[in-house]
Amino acid sequence: MSAGIKVQSPRLAGTVGSRRAMLETLVRHLPMVRLRVPALLALVLAAGCAGQITTPGGSDDAAVAAAKAKFTASVQPIMDGFCGSCHLGQANIDFLRPEPDPRTQMLAWDGLVRLDAPPTSGLLTKGAHSGPALTPDQSAVILDWIDLEVLAAGGEPPADVETEKLTPQPGVNTLDLGPIGLTGSSLSFLYEPLATGMYLSDIQVTGGTGGVHVVNPLFVIWNEGSPEPDPINRFGNIDLVVQEGLTSYVGGGTAVFVDVAPTSDISVHFRVAELADGTDPGGGDGGVVGGGCNNVPAFTSAAQPPLAASCGNCHGAGGQTNAISATDMTRIADLTAEGQAAACAQVKTRVNALDPVNSGLFLAPDPNSGTQHPFKFATATDFQNFRNAVVQWINQE
């Protein structure tokens, strides 16, 4: 895999010329992005006070007033200045038509403003067409407004899900999504330190048990310990479903962060991080958790070594899709306590506790079982050594 880094180098060189521009963007955006969520709440509070004074008995509550104020002050000028020449009056695309007013018209326009997943709103994802693309600045302002509309419609404020921090090493890095409830799913990337920054490439999401659905992965660089969200939220329009056992690039798959210490930790926030079918992994439906092991240490000492050695290359992370969907051992090489608990639970689904030696886990690789399985131990003795080791764990369950 390390060859992958070399392949990336020309692209890296290509980005250096625009470093200056990127740095400027970063400096301009940083305070805005960092203050996004607190600012939202402040706006609602401010509007709440104003509302009490200026519209006594009015029907608008504080959140609606905040959304309207934001639209009038910040969104409408962008629309008028860059989009109005076509979208005010042209038939079928007149989403700025003031009937009864542009905000109401835009909210009613199909797909233009998506309160269920704001970063995926058509307004933000349209990009360059007969008209211009919104700049990152403009997109950030509009996203703030849409977040306020979510609150105004009685929705929840943006609730980011955050991964644990990772100290990236040159080469492949993997952020486990297990701790946020997505067993076996992960986000991985190649990392290359820059003199004053960080270069990430091959950014990919892999679907574990039940697959994964993520919206707007936002990288946060812990520069000297203080969190700095990606100032241009470059994956703001990502709405990605990855089925179990598959892997997909995140957008263009690269990101350069400038003016941060190359040794900084990284974490990733998601607007939405759930199972592929939209189920909340934290929900009590038991689909993800449940079925755990009673004795994970016995699994790690007796079963993990032979399973990792003989089965991991097909059933483990990065193995064969059909092998993983038949028997999932994607966590087998992850020696963290959490990883082993997950691996043990995965393997246990192939164990018959009442008749351990006839478990599916053994029938598949047994050279004398007669099953069609791509891998058989070379000799009966090799197989028995394998089974004797793994059975020590099963007897503890």
Rounded to 10 degrees, the C-alpha dihedral 299/303/305/309 comes to -140
Nearer to ligand HEC, 122 or 154 (CB): 122
Measured CA distances, 62 to 39, 51, 97 (Å): 15, 6, 26
Residue 113 contacts ligand HEC per CB under 6 A = no
Asked whether the beta carbons of 307 and 251 are under 8 A apart, the reply is no
Asked whether the beta carbons of 316 and 380 are under 8 A apart, the reply is no
Residue 365 contacts ligand HEC per CB under 6 A = yes
Nearest distance in Å: CB 308, ligand HEC:
9
> What is the C-alpha separation between 346 and 343, in angstroms, rounded?
5
Restricting to residues 281-310, which ones interact with ligand HEC according to CB under 6 A?
310
Residue 210, Cβ density class (10 Å: 0-12 exposed, 13-18 middle, ≥19 buried): buried
Asked whether the beta carbons of 300 and 308 are under 8 A apart, the reply is no
Nearest distance in Å: CB 304, ligand HEC:
12
Candidates 27-35, 67-75, 215-223, 359-367: pick the segment binding ligand HEC (CB under 6 A).
359-367
Nearest distance in Å: CB 245, ligand HEC:
11
- The footprint of ligand HEC on this chain (CB under 6 A) covers a number of residues equal to 35
Q: Which of 36, 114, 126, 165 binds ligand HEC (CB under 6 A)?
A: 126
Residue 315 contacts ligand HEC per CB under 6 A = yes
Rounded (5°) CA angle 363-364-368: 60
Asked whether the beta carbons of 219 and 257 are under 8 A apart, the reply is yes
Residue 123 contacts ligand HEC per CB under 6 A = yes
Q: Which of 161, 275, 323, 394 binds ligand HEC (CB under 6 A)?
A: 323
Q: Which of 26, 40, 75, 83 binds ligand HEC (CB under 6 A)?
A: 83
| Sites of contact with ligand HEC (CB under 6 A) | 82-83, 85-87, 93, 111-112, 122-123, 126, 129-132, 134, 310-311, 313-315, 320, 322-323, 326-327, 350, 360-361, 364-365, 372-375
